Amino acid sequence: MKALIISADHFEDTELLVPYYRLKEEGFEVDVASISRGKINGKHGYEVSVDKALRDVHAKDYDILVLPGGKAPAALRKELAALEIVKDFFRSNKPVAAICHGPQLLVTAGVIKDRHATCYHSVAEELKEAGALYEDSEVVVDGNLVTSRQPSDLPAFMRETLRMASKIVH
């Protein structure tokens, strides 16, 4: 099983690293994709190696998508390749897990309308304007979508993300 994490510089460190290592613990092969290869740096100083440039990612090669928050989603939402990956996951009804500012990518990709979701409080109005059914909860699950608000929600976020991942059958 393969997981894809899409991020960029200024990601929220724990929101990338906790899913990365928890998915690995569950036996997933995990790739980190970004605008270009090399390294990306978190808001709190962690450095993560990028396995693939967005343009080289094929959603069909992955079983689950994780979208960490921080300031990275603001940069990623300007990248057509990132938006196409998100749309491909939704078209295929594959699991997508987005936390904090991660749902901004769902807004820009146009996949959040009529979906129950949560996000960081400063993004809530944007989600509502995009037609999401916003809930201020530590974790919200709607079909193939898992969303959470902030780093303190990571235990609930990972519990539901791993529950969804466990349903992936090959």
Which runs of consecutive H residues, i.e. helices, occur in the chain?
13-25, 72-76, 80-91, 103-109, 124-129, 154-165
The torsion angle over the Cα atoms of residues 112, 118, 122 and 126, rounded to 10 degrees, is: 20
Instruction: Collect all residues with Cβ–Cβ distance below 8 Å to 164 and sequence separation of at least 6.
Output: 64, 95, 97, 141, 144, 146
Q: What is the total residue count of the chain?
A: 170
- Adjacent-strand bridge partners of 34: 53
Q: Which residues are catalytic?
A: 101
- Structure token digits, residue 143: 């079909």
pLDDT at 41: 98
Residues of the chain with pLDDT under 50: none
3 vs 19: CA distance, rounded Å: 10
- Cβ–Cβ contacts within 10 Å for residue 163, how many? 12
pLDDT at 169: 61
- Cβ–Cβ contacts within 10 Å for residue 80, how many? 9
pLDDT at 7: 98
Fold of 2-165: Rossmann fold (3.40.50)
pLDDT at 168: 77
SS3 24: helix
